[in-house]
Amino acid sequence: MVLRGLFGGHHEPDHPLDAPAPTPQATEPAVRDTESVRRISAELEALPKAQRRYVAGFAYVLARVAHADLEVSDAELGYMETAVVQVGHLSQAQAVLVVEMARNMNELYGATDDYVVTRDFAAIASREQCEDLLRTAFAVGAADDSITAAEVAELNEVGKELGFRSDEVDSLRNEFRDQLSSIQAMRAARGA
């Protein structure tokens, strides 16, 4: 995979077409980061590199979940911005920029970057931080009062990539059961 070296790890191309074009900077660690994380990190130059990577990965995973149903609501965007302010200790303006960039990068590179960004976030974060990210991702999905089936599937995948067992993901999902679109549909059908 092209993006295997996300957070400073080394990558040998699987295929000659995967190899980056030679540049004078090719040996610098930043060249090995995914484009998504590099662009977000560049906007946060004043923060230490480890914190930039953490915030960029956190925001990207939230955007991944919000975009799972191919529609990011204003409520989801607002929740992501608030979460990034709290997690990254950023200004509101910085958080808006980070979230917008994460959303755009996910839309452009999601099929390629999703697994790598999430897996590498898990490698730099504690178990508690991974749980915080997964719980926040559920809250992002619920921000518009309905976690769609596509978002649930994405959350299950994110949970697995963060290292959680399925019963642990189920336990977190249970905290948001009233916002699950499938539960809402069942309740509506019973009431009709």
Examine residue 22 and state whether it is found in any structural domain, yes or no. Answer: no
Examine residue 5 and state whether it is found in any structural domain, yes or no. Answer: no
CB 61 within 8 A of CB 118: yes
pLDDT in tens, the chain (192 residues): 322 333 344 333 343 334 344 334 444 444 456 776 666 666 677 788 888 899 999 999 999 999 999 999 999 999 999 999 999 999 888 899 899 999 999 999 888 899 999 999 999 999 999 999 999 999 999 999 899 999 999 999 999 999 999 999 999 999 988 888 777 777 788 875
In this prediction, residue 21 carries a pLDDT of: 40
Examine residue 28 and state whether it is found in any structural domain, yes or no. Answer: no
Examine residue 116 and state whether it is found in any structural domain, yes or no. Answer: yes
In this prediction, residue 121 carries a pLDDT of: 97
In this prediction, residue 192 carries a pLDDT of: 56
Number of domains the chain contains: 1
Examine residue 150 and state whether it is found in any structural domain, yes or no. Answer: yes
In this prediction, residue 137 carries a pLDDT of: 97
Tell me the Ramachandran region of residue 89: left when phi exceeds 0, alpha when psi lies from -120 to 50, beta otherwise. left
In this prediction, residue 122 carries a pLDDT of: 97
Tell how far CA 66 is from the center of its chain.
9
Examine residue 26 and state whether it is found in any structural domain, yes or no. Answer: no
Examine residue 2 and state whether it is found in any structural domain, yes or no. Answer: no
- Give one DSSP letter per residue of the chain, joined into a string: -TTTTTTS-----SSGGGSPPP-TTTTSGGGGS-HHHHHHHHTTTTS-HHHHHHHHHHHHHHHHHHTTTS---HHHHHHHHHHHHHHHT--HHHHHHHHHHHHHHHHHHHHHHHHHHHHHHHHHS-HHHHHHHHHHHHHHHHTTS-B-HHHHHHHHHHHHHTT--HHHHHHHHHTTGGGBHHHHHHHHHHH-
Structural domain including 171 reads 33-191
In this prediction, residue 24 carries a pLDDT of: 40
- CA-to-CA distance for 56 and 188, rounded, in angstroms? 39
Q: What CATH code is carried by the domain that includes residue 72?
A: 1.10.3680.10
- Give one DSSP letter per residue of 15-58, joined into a string: SGGGSPPP-TTTTSGGGGS-HHHHHHHHTTTTS-HHHHHHHHHH
Examine residue 79 and state whether it is found in any structural domain, yes or no. Answer: yes
In this prediction, residue 162 carries a pLDDT of: 97
Q: For residue 180, what are the β-bridge partners?
A: 147
- CA-to-CA distance for 175 and 163, rounded, in angstroms? 19
pTM strictly above 0.85:
no
